[in-house]
């Protein structure tokens, strides 16, 4: 081979090596550059900014992690009530978080204190906000029993501080969860330096924090306070590009700092968590036969040290709410202090007894697993942010507060100042969609006009849906009371006196689970389900909050071996 060919071969070899190096460089997994475009991410000069150091969701205050999976929802044991509203069905639940205990009086009075400071009830414009959030302490009264001590002391006396709050309607529980979302997000943003330290202490009707407002229009948070508009007054180091533009000024969803919302758990989530099957890895070991949050078929402990002790707070028999004093007593006449009994395998306390608990679902006698067997939930009402004519989001002001009059005459605020006004989704979101086609889906596939107008097979369309003959055939023909106000603000109550009503079920009744201090052992089975009007309260229903899990199903990034 002559020298010329050798030289050409060396040049060709060098060129191939250089192309290989360039190719490797382009395809290397450099997390500082985009795998889509190759451009640098988080460049201090600007461009695409992203939190690529995020590991996993932090557990928010009061919550414990519940790893999702499949389970048999409902029960296969004999139904002595003969309502068969919890027929077994297979469901799959995504991982989520749940309060380790029921929300306590102390937690709820913190909420009341914030409302009182932010919306002073002595001011006429805000008086009804505080009143609408107050639990109904009169639920303790009994025509033939003495309970004034609980009426006067249960909510506020420190002796009951760690007892579960009662007298709270489903609507009030939802509002508490919304408030909690904002307060925790406010704390996280302060700790990350995005908000001025202790800015929450100066909250007022004209200047308070809303998570959704901060995400969608951060300069309108705190009423446009300079501590938000001017990032130099926060503790977050301001980044500017070479052109002088500010970047990373506010925390977006992409930052990973803002957690998902606190909310009520769905019925499926609550039942799955209550069963406490975290140690059961074989497929459906119990097949709906796990009777309590603990192992075994009995309500008393079989352990040597605690043998015979009750494992939950419930009514043991007629006139027996706790047992004989001093021996085999469940430790409570009414509710018990939270965490008085052993937790289940998920670390959740009082998932049986103490107080029954609101869940998010609208009640129906069946669970429609034919339509959905993944994260089942009935109650979706889809909304969107209201938009001003200039394209900005519409933030509620103190002059824009809208109040709703509930079926029992109580008045509650539909929205609070600082929040973004919500409106129903319309055709802009639903047109030609296959997964949903309306805003309110509470009565989807359950006897509404789209599935069956009535349960009677001889229904005559010509008689009309509201004719007298058709009234008794409607599946959910519940009483319809009328609440109005005259010009002076006095409530006018018109009771529904019809004797043709066939049901107490409508779109405003919600499921509650778990049994309570007033219930026999039969009702503390996690599969049991009952319902109650969402705007009313009792002395035996409380609640706890949940939060969705983002990212991996398991904590710690569990991987296959």
Q: How do residues 430-471 score in pLDDT, each as one tens digit?
A: 999 999 999 999 988 876 555 544 545 444 444 444 545 444
Structure tokens at 73: 């929802």
Calculate mean pLDDT across residues 267-287. 72
Would you give the distance in Å from CA 132 to the centre of its chain?
Answer: 20
Give per-residue pLDDT as tens, 322-355.
777 765 677 788 999 999 988 998 999 999 999 9
Q: Provide the pLDDT for residue 460.
A: 47
Among the listed ranges 376-390, 451-465, 491-505, which one has the minimum average pLDDT value?
A: 451-465
What is the total residue count of the chain? Answer: 561
Domain contains 177: yes
CATH code: domain of residue 278: 3.90.1580.10
Domain contains 333: yes
Between 281 and 289, residue with greater pLDDT: 289
CA distance 86 to 225: 51
Interacting residues of 138 by C-beta distance below 8 A, sequence separation 6+: 151, 167
Domain contains 157: yes
Q: Provide the pLDDT for residue 288.
A: 54
DSSP 121-173: TTSTTTHHHHHHHS--GGGG-BTTB--HHHHHHTTT-GGGTTSBP-S--HHHH
The pLDDT > 70 percentage for the chain reads 78
Structure tokens at 40: 């640098």
- Give the residue from 379, 317, 305, 392 showing the smallest Cα distance to 342: 305
Confidence of residue 8 (pLDDT cuts 50, 70, 90): low
- Give the residue from 145, 170, 138, 156 showing the smallest Cα distance to 539: 138
Interacting residues of 190 by C-beta distance below 8 A, sequence separation 6+: 196, 197, 198, 199, 200
Give per-residue pLDDT as tens, 145-186.
999 999 999 999 999 999 999 999 999 999 999 999 999 999
CA distances from 182 to 35, 176, 338, 533 (A): 35, 10, 25, 27
CA distances from 327 to 119, 307, 383 (A): 49, 12, 54
Domain contains 394: no
Domain contains 86: yes
Mean pLDDT of the chain: 84
Between 360 and 223, residue with greater pLDDT: 360
Structure tokens at 182: 């904002």
Please tell me the total count of domains within the chain: 1
Domain contains 320: yes
Q: Could you count the other beta carbons within 10 Å of the beta carbon of residue 408?
A: 15
Domain that holds residue 90: 65-192+258-379+507-561
Name the helix (H) or strand (E) containing 4. helix 3-27
Interacting residues of 294 by C-beta distance below 8 A, sequence separation 6+: 276, 311, 342, 344
CA atoms within 13 A on the CB side of 336: 27
Torsion of CA 516, 260, 379, 433, to 10 degrees: -160
Domain contains 58: no
Give per-residue pLDDT as tens, 249-270.
888 888 899 999 999 999 999 9
- Give the residue from 223, 249, 278, 258 showing the smallest Cα distance to 67: 278
Domain contains 397: no
- Give the residue from 199, 190, 203 showing the smallest Cα distance to 236: 190
Q: Provide the pLDDT for residue 469.
A: 47
């Amino acid at each position: 081979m002559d020298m010329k060919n050798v030289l050409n071969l060396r040049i060709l070899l060098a060129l191939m090596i250089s192309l290989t190096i360039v190719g490797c460089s382009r395809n290397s997994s450099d997390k500082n550059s985009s795998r889509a475009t190759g451009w640098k991410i988080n460049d201090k000069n600007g461009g695409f900014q992203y939190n690529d150091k995020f590991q996993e969701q932090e557990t928010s205050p009061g919550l414990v992690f519940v790893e999702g999976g499949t389970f048999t929802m409902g029960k296969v044991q004999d139904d002595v009530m003969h309502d068969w509203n919890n027929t077994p069905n297979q469901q799959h639940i995504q991982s989520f978080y749940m309060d380790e205990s029921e929300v306590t009086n102390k937690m709820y009075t913190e909420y009341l204190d914030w409302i009182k400071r932010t919306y002073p009830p002595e001011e006429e414009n805000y008086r009804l906000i505080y009143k609408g959030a107050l639990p109904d302490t009169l639920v303790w009264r009994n025509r033939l029993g003495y309970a004034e001590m609980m009426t006067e002391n249960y909510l506020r006396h420190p002796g009951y501080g760690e007892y579960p709050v009662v007298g709270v309607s489903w609507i009030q529980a939802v509002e508490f969860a919304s408030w909690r979302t904002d307060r925790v997000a406010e704390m996280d943003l302060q700790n990350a330096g995005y908000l001025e330290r202790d800015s929450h202490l100066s909250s007022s009707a004209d200047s308070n924090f809303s998570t959704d407002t901060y995400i969608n229009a951060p300069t309108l948070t705190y009423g446009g306070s300079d501590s938000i508009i001017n990032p130099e007054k926060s503790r977050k180091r301001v980044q500017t590009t070479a052109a002088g533009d500010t970047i990373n000024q506010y925390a977006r969803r992409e930052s990973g700092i803002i957690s998902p919302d606190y909310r009520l758990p769905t019925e499926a989530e609550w039942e799955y968590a209550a069963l406490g099957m975290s140690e059961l890895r074989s497929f459906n070991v119990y097949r709906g036969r796990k009777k309590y949050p603990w192992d075994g078929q009995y309500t008393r402990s079989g352990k040597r040290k605690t043998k015979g002790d009750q494992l939950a707070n419930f009514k043991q028999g007629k006139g027996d709410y706790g047992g004989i004093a001093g021996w085999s007593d469940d430790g409570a006449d009414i509710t018990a202090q939270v965490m008085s009994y052993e937790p289940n395998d998920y670390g959740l306390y009082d998932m049986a007894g103490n107080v029954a608990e609101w869940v998010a679902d609208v009640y129906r006698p069946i669970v429609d697993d034919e339509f959905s067997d993944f994260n089942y939930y009935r109650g979706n009402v889809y909304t969107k942010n209201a938009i001003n004519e200039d394209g900005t989001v519409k933030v509620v002001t103190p002059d824009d507060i809208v109040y709703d009059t509930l079926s029992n005459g109580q008045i509650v605020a539909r929205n609070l100042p600082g929040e973004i006004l919500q409106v129903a989704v319309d055709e802009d979101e639903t047109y030609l969609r296959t997964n949903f086609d309306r805003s309110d889906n509470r009565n989807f596939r359950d006897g509404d006009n789209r599935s069956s107008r009535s349960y009677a097979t001889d229904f005559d369309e010509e008689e009309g849906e509201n004719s007298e003959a058709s009234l008794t055939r409607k599946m959910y023909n519940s009483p319809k009371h009328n609440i109005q106000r005259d010009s002076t603000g006095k409530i006018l109550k018109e009771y529904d006196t019809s004797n043709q009503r066939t049901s107490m079920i409508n779109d405003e009744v919600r499921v509650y689970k778990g049994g309570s201090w007033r219930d026999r052992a039969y009702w503390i089975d996690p599969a049991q389900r009952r319902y109650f009007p969402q705007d009313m309260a009792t002395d035996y229903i409380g609640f706890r909050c949940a939060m969705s899990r983002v990212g991996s199903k398991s904590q710690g990034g569990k991987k296959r071996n």
